[in-house]
Amino acid sequence: MIQYPRVTTKLVILLGNPLGHSVSPPMHNRVFEKLRMDYCYMPVEVTSKNLKKVFSGLSEMNVAGFNVTIPHKINIIQYLDELDSLAATIGAVNTICVRDGKTKGYNTDGEGFILSLEETAQTKVKGKRVFLLGSGGAARAIAMTLAFHHAEKIYIHNRTTAKAEKLADEINRNIRVCAVVVESMENQRKAIQTCDILTNSTSLGMHPDEDVLPIDESLLTPDVIVADIVYNPLMTKLLKTAKDKGCTIVPGLGMLIYQGAAAFKLFTGVEPLVEEMSEVVHSLMASK
């Protein structure tokens, strides 16, 4: 067993505030230990006021990279040397690699969603029609990544229509995948009837509001795959309802695990042990 820290130990730093709830440190450190890698994943709580100073200082250490979470995913961009094309399109970063003193930002949130979806539902996003609930930060990452992966069409429904229209317009202009805003219940029904995948990318249904459904259950049909990014509770009301209606379901915890796995590979160049990551996360969630 490798003892931490050592002079040679490569650090991966999680930046955010607050971080007490994060499962990322034990998830990554389990794999580092299993693979006998001289790496250590550490959480560092930092305020927006001190972000530049802390990030600049840590970047000068023996750091392989950073994970970035709320509230710094957008503000951190101004301090980076380079941005991956997908992260630039999304306008937010959750992963930063440090190579030869240069920092490059990535966004693995959408990638994590797609990997989880494709693994759980045994399908491919390419050529699929997707109905997306929400247009916030998570929805933006998912929608842009779906477009990068050549989804055929993306329908977007959001309580604030202007936000949905802005997201759809950016997808249509920058990636040239057809994105359409859907408002009325009847138009939602018509859109979902043509879709392969329905995704809740809002916080509706999250603890303590477990009884909230983000969509009218009459709109769910057995031939649609239903995914939810909410993972507390593990089985949301949306997923329970969809399962009862015969839908294939994709729980939100997979996105958390796979975005971490994608980040792990960026940091190290090594294939992560996804099953180990999953075991750690499920164990931690079960104990909460």
- What are the structural domain ranges in the chain? 10-107+255-287, 110-251
Residue 104: both structure tokens together: 């490059």
Q: CB count, 10 Å around CB of 144?
A: 28
Look at residue 2 and tell me whether its pLDDT is greater than 70: no
Contact 73, 137 (CB under 8 A): yes
Look at residue 192 and tell me whether its pLDDT is greater than 70: yes
Contact 146, 171 (CB under 8 A): no
- Residue 155's DSSP bridge partners are 131, 180
Please report which confidence band the pLDDT of residue 288 belongs to, taking 50, 70 and 90 as the band edges: confident
What's 110-251's CATH class?
A: alpha beta
Across residues 67-93, what is the average pLDDT?
Answer: 96
Question: Which one from 49, 53, 73, 240 is the annotated catalytic residue?
Answer: 73
Across residues 14-34, what is the average pLDDT?
Answer: 95
Q: CB count, 10 Å around CB of 98?
A: 23
Q: Provide the 3-class DSSP secondary structure of residue 51.
A: helix
Across residues 231-250, what is the average pLDDT?
Answer: 96
Please tell me the pTM assigned to this model. Answer: 0.92
pLDDT at res. 246: 97
Q: CB count, 10 Å around CB of 238?
A: 26
The CATH superfamily of 10-107+255-287 is Leucine Dehydrogenase, chain A, domain 1 (3.40.50.10860)
Contact 273, 31 (CB under 8 A): yes
Please report which confidence band the pLDDT of residue 72 belongs to, taking 50, 70 and 90 as the band edges: very high
Q: Nearest to residue 245, comparing CAs of 266, 227, 218?
A: 218
pLDDT at res. 3: 62
Across residues 32-54, what is the average pLDDT?
Answer: 97
What are the φ/ψ torsions at residue 138 (nearest 5 degrees)?
-65, -45
Dihedral sign computed on CA atoms, order 128, 274, 261, 47: positive
pLDDT at res. 21: 87
Q: Nearest to residue 240, comparing CAs of 223, 257, 263, 217?
A: 217
Please state, in angstroms and rounded to a whole number, the distance separating the CA atoms of residues 202 and 197: 15
pLDDT at res. 4: 63
Q: Nearest to residue 204, comparing CAs of 168, 246, 252?
A: 252
Look at residue 125 and tell me whether its pLDDT is greater than 70: yes
Across residues 259-267, what is the average pLDDT?
Answer: 98
> Residue 24 corresponds to which amino acid?
S
Q: CB count, 10 Å around CB of 104?
A: 18
Which residues, 6 or more positions from 166, have their beta carbon under 8 angstroms from its beta carbon?
A: 135
Do the domains 10-107+255-287 and 110-251 sit in the same CATH topology, yes or no? yes
Q: Provide the 3-class DSSP secondary structure of residue 248.
A: coil
Contact 97, 69 (CB under 8 A): no
Annotated catalytic, 10?
Answer: no
pLDDT at res. 211: 95
Q: How far is CA 128 from the centre of its chain?
A: 19
Say what angle helices 24-34 and 253-268 make with each other, to 10 degrees. Answer: 50
pLDDT at res. 1: 52
Which residues, 6 or more positions from 194, have their beta carbon under 8 angstroms from its beta carbon?
A: 129
pLDDT at res. 236: 97
Please report which confidence band the pLDDT of residue 286 belongs to, taking 50, 70 and 90 as the band edges: confident
pLDDT at res. 272: 96
The CA-atom distances, in angstroms, between 144 and each of 105, 110, 169, 256, 272 are 16, 8, 11, 18, 24
The CA-atom distances, in angstroms, between 125 and each of 143, 153, 281 are 11, 10, 25
Look at residue 127 and tell me whether its pLDDT is greater than 90: yes
The CA-atom distances, in angstroms, between 178 and each of 20, 38, 144, 202, 230 are 40, 45, 11, 21, 26
